[in-house]
Amino acid sequence: MRRILVDRARRRLAVRHGGELHRTEWVEDGIAAPTANEEDLLAVHEVLDQLAGIDPRKAEVVKLRYFIGMTIEESAEALGVSAATVRRDWTYAKAWLFRELEDGKGD
């Protein structure tokens, strides 16, 4: 058993398996809080209307998570969908919003 554990530890520490990377704790609450910067808040508001035109449920997830500060589970209950669906929608919406906001800064 010791050999198995040592081999597993060596494998996890190997560079090709991400051995030089350090794990960090995921802080879910920090993402849902809107920024104090009014310009950022207005920018999110503007592109959120575009997202609502593409996928209204994802826009609702952003409203619930970003502006209201609901958790994944609370958002799922409010929308009547599963928590996994809200997680997927939240991940997609964050990436979409980031891309749209970055494109807007370059103009």
Residue 39: give its domain's CATH number.
1.10.10.10
Q: Is pLDDT of 4 > 60?
A: yes
Domain hosting residue 89, numbered range: 25-105
Q: Under DSSP, is residue 27 helix (H, G, I), strand (E, B) or coil?
A: coil
Q: pLDDT per residue over 30-39, tens digit each?
A: 444 455 566 6
For the four alpha carbons of 11, 12, 13 and 14, in that order, the dihedral sign comes to positive
Amino acid letter at 71?
T
> Nearest 10 degrees: CA dihedral of 45, 48, 53, 56?
-120
Q: What angle do CA 78, 69, 49 make, to 5 degrees?
A: 75
Is 31 part of a structural domain of the chain?
yes
Percent of residues, the chain, with pLDDT higher than 70? 63
Average pLDDT of the residues in 20-32: 53
pLDDT at res. 102: 86
Whether residue 59 has pLDDT greater than 70: yes
Identify which has the larger pLDDT, 16 or 79: 79
Q: What is the DSSP letter of 80?
A: T
Name the band, by pLDDT with cuts 50, 70 and 90, for residue 45. confident
Number of domains present in the structure of the chain: 1
> What is the average pLDDT across 88-92?
95
Tell me, yes or no, whether 34 lies in a domain: yes
